[in-house]
Structure 1
Amino acid sequence: MKFSARHERFELARPFVIARGSRTHQDVVVATLKVGDHCASAECTPYARYGESIDSVIEQIEHFNRLLEQHPTLSAQAVQQELVPQLPAGAARNAIDCALWRFNAETSFPTPLFDIKPQIVTALTVSIDTPAKMARQARELCRQGAKLLKVKLDAENLIERVAAVREQAPECEIILDANEAWENLPLSELFQALTSYDIRMIEQPVPAGKDGLLKGIPHPIPLCADESCHTSDDIAGMIGCYEMVNIKLDKTGGLTEAIKLADQARKQGLDIMVGCMVGTSLAMEAALPVASQADLVDLDGPVLLKNDRENGLIYQNGRLVTSQ
């Protein structure tokens, strides 16, 4: 049993702009598990915000191979249960864990192990630009059948940008993603002002670690933790600050912990969103088991790419179609 890892780069359909910067391509790592003549692959997206790089993720996967050499008799199931949890939560563990899920499924993945909805409404992303250009993005996505828009924002021209998008998307649900950029804004007044635009949810308005800034602030619009919540160990710190958590496999370190996080969040009365880093259908497919049970889904990574993988997932009219 051995993993190989390779770096792949995908050009974006258009520049992707969030509060932390912009990019024109996406780098991912694909981990492939080989046991005899059988192979299974999974994809992860290293994220600099969490101290990851292509090189660091590949090194973690190579380190895991050295760990495997010390346990040559373990089955794939035992490896997943006993060795994978020794890795830190993050992109490398995600690729390893999801490759093991695919391998252990023996047939197709994620079925028949999971009950996957045939269609899942997914957010489509409006990236940061001028209000007029964001309005054009929203209008085009609505023409494509969008049901849910995720509007990226920084701390500038907030109301103007939201108003412009809402005007062009009167029938869509809208969620706002601040990517930690609103720490120095008058949050109470801002949350109240945004209620005029029928916003479904606001994601991560303040930096991770400063979530206490949200306690006691009236917010008619539900708040969702993203950068602040990686694994089930983080749930306790979300109570009283957020009403929802955004589960991403590259944060949890794979599907195994994502399922655990979703269960713990539900038990604490928190709603579930399933999100993604920008990536291909290979990465999105691994998140379908939790997405099928989520309150909100944002798995539009492949839509942001100029070209997805061959035989990728199908996106139609604002939905991710898993069966025809």
Structure 2
Amino acid sequence: MVMRRSPDIAVERLPFAKPFRISGHVFTESPVVVVSLSDGLHIGRGEASGVYYLGDNEETMVAALETVREGLCAGMTRTELQQALPAGGARNAADCALWELDAKREGVPVWKLAGLPEPRPLLTTFTLGADDPGVMAEGARAYAEARALKLKLTGDLDLDIARVRAVRSARPECWIGVDANQGFTADELDPLVAVLVECGIALLEQPLARGREADLDGFKSPIPIAADESALTLADVDGLVGRFQTVNIKLDKCGGLTEAIAIARRARTLGLDVMVGNMVGSSWAMAPAWLLGQLCDVVDLDGPTFLATDRTPGIAYRDGHIECPDAVWGHNSASRSAVAAT
């Protein structure tokens, strides 16, 4: 067996095309950590943004990856990585790099190695950052090819209601979901949901703060409620039943494609719908999430559209769908070209 070389761990800052606002935060760039693993013949890559609201950033990710550098060099497996690092961006980057490296070494694409369905283009949401209602309506119209939109809310009930109504008026034909980013309290749910129903909103994501899940006990929502911050890892999934109807899986939260697949399969056995989301990143981060998306009911993988520039080659967005060409990530046909480029 060819031994893996010492991994390359790099921090990159991906500037946004314009500032992006959610509840409590404004982002102008996405710092990411990229892990590249080589056995001398093939290269596997993984990219992670971390989880900003958990303090999981580029510094903590690099520090965590340094603790497993020797193990990765010696041939650490994905299973061993699960035990060596906790969930988070560091494990995600290393896990995805291992998936791609192993797929190239075995001469099969990652989807086949992982036992996933053969990938196809997926309908994806395109996200509108929280802004003045008129600006959001204009943004919705600018997404001319989008068939599905996701609106970021801030927890200002009256303003958020105006935002929802403005976007629905601008795009009456679109599937629309809203992401509250933990911005509301339990006593605001009834008036919020009433307007969402009136406007034909299809999904309400994370209305309450993580830790307040019990406030949903007995609340009968006429539209599905998705857990995001309330569902970080596989250990959180069983506790969602009876409170949420959908779980939003993000590879940075759960620590990679390995656990993400386990979450999706566990959610299905519990009768929960499955969604895949992202923390914003380049096509190298979206590609493994796109494979997970083959198991999902809702796909939210528009991260590269916020960047000033993306990877080349990169994810393709056509007619409201996302598709990952073989050359981007995770396919054995890219092995020789990837090595030649180094």
- Per the shorter chain, which TM-score range? over 0.9
> Counterparts of 2:286 and 2:72 in 1: how far apart (Å)?
27
Contact 2:315 2:325 in 1 (8 A): no
Match of 1:219 among 218, 221, 227: 221
User: CA separation of 1:38/1:198 partners in 2, compared to 1, >3 Å: closer, same or farther?
Assistant: same
Q: Distance in 1 between matches of 2:186 and 2:305?
A: 33
- Aligned counterparts, 1:1-324, within 5 A: 1=4, 2-68=6-72, 72=74, 75=75, 79-106=77-104, 107=107, 109-113=109-113, 114-141=116-143, 143=144, 145-156=145-156, 157-183=159-185, 185-322=187-324
Q: Which amino acid aligns with 2:34?
A: V
CA deviations on 1:270-307 (whole Å, 9 max, x unpaired) are: 00000111100000001122101210000000111111
Q: Secondary structure at the match of 2:68?
A: helix
> Which secondary structure state, in structure 2, belongs to the residue aligned with residue 207 of structure 1?
coil
Alpha-carbon distance between aligned partners in 1 of 2:314 and 2:325, rounded to the nearest angstrom: 12
RMSD across aligned positions (CA): 1.7
Question: Is the contact made by 1:14 and 1:304 (CA closer than 8 Å) also made in structure 2?
Answer: yes
8 Å Cα contact 2:205/2:226 also seen in 1? yes
The unaligned stretches of length 5 or more in structure 1 are none
The C-alpha deviation readout for 1:181-209, integer Å capped at 9, x for no partner, is: 01265212321232100011000000111
Aligned length: 316
The one-letter code matched in structure 1 to 2:86 is P
Separation in 2, partners of 1:323, 1:103: 17
**Distance across 2 between alignment mates of 1:271 and 1:158:** 25
Q: Deviations over 1:156-199 (max 9, x none)?
A: 21211100000011110000000000126521232123210001
Give structure 2 stretches of 5+ with no counterpart. 327-342
> 2:150·2:176 contact (CA, 8 Å) conserved in 1?
yes
Tell me if the contact between 2:43 and 2:100 (Cα under 8 Å) persists in the aligned partners.
no
Q: Does the aligned pair in 2 maintain the 1:151–1:177 contact within 8 Å?
A: yes
Cα distance in 1 for partners of 2:243, 2:190 equals 13
Secondary structure at the aligned position of 1:262 is classed as helix
Contact 1:90 1:251 in 2 (8 A): yes
